Amino acid sequence: MRDSESPIRILVYIGPHGDDAIGENLIKLPFMRAIRDAYPQGEISWIQGHHPLSFQSSLEPLARGLITEVIPDTALGNTWGSALGFTRLLPNHHFDVIIDTQKHPKFTLALRRISHDLFISSTWSFALSSRCPKGRKLKSGTLTERLLQLLDLVKEGLTWPDSKADIPTEYVEAAEQALPSGQNYIGLAPGAGRKDSGKCWPLKNFITVAKQQIIMGRKPVFFLGPDELPWKEIIINEIPDVQIAPLELEAADGNTLSGPGVTVVLGGRLDVGVANCSGTGHMLAAGGASMVSLYGPTSPTKFAPYTKDITIIKAQDFGGSSIELIPVEVVNEGIESQLKEMALS
What is the rounded CA–CA span in Å between residue 238 and residue 210?
10
Answer yes or no: is pLDDT of 161 > 80: yes
Determine the residue type at 286.
A
Question: Which domains does the chain show, CATH number per domain?
Answer: 9-152 (3.40.50.2000), 169-344 (3.40.50.2000)
Q: Poorest-confidence range of 16-25, 147-156, 235-244, 251-260? A: 16-25
Per-residue confidence (pLDDT) for residue 53, from 0 to 100 = 82
Q: What is the pTM of this model?
A: 0.91
Per-residue confidence (pLDDT) for residue 19, from 0 to 100 = 56
How confident is the model over 14-73, as pLDDT tens digits?
888 755 568 788 999 999 999 999 999 999 999 987 777 888 888 999 999 999 999 988
Percent of the chain's residues with pLDDT above 70: 97
Burial 89-113 (b: 16+ CB within 10 A, else e): bbeebebbbbbbbbeeebbbbbbbb
Per-residue confidence (pLDDT) for residue 4, from 0 to 100 = 56
| Structural contact between residues 172 and 265, judged by C-beta atoms closer than 8 angstroms | yes
CA atoms within 13 A on the CB side of 340: 7
Pairing between β-strand 248-250 and β-strand 256-258 as defined by DSSP bridges: antiparallel
What is the rounded CA–CA span in Å between residue 294 and residue 200?
9
Answer yes or no: is pLDDT of 238 > 90: yes
Cite the DSSP H helix spans in the chain: 22-38, 60-63, 80-84, 105-111, 143-152, 169-178, 203-215, 230-238, 260-267, 279-287, 300-303, 328-344
Percent of the chain's residues with pLDDT above 90: 83
Q: Which residues pair with 314 in a beta bridge?
A: 295
- 69: phi then psi, degrees, rounded to nearest 5: -150, 140
Model confidence band, residue 1 (pLDDT cutoffs 50, 70, 90): very low
Q: No. of H helices and E strands in the chain?
A: 12, 13
| Structural contact between residues 284 and 267, judged by C-beta atoms closer than 8 angstroms | yes
Answer yes or no: is pLDDT of 177 > 90: yes
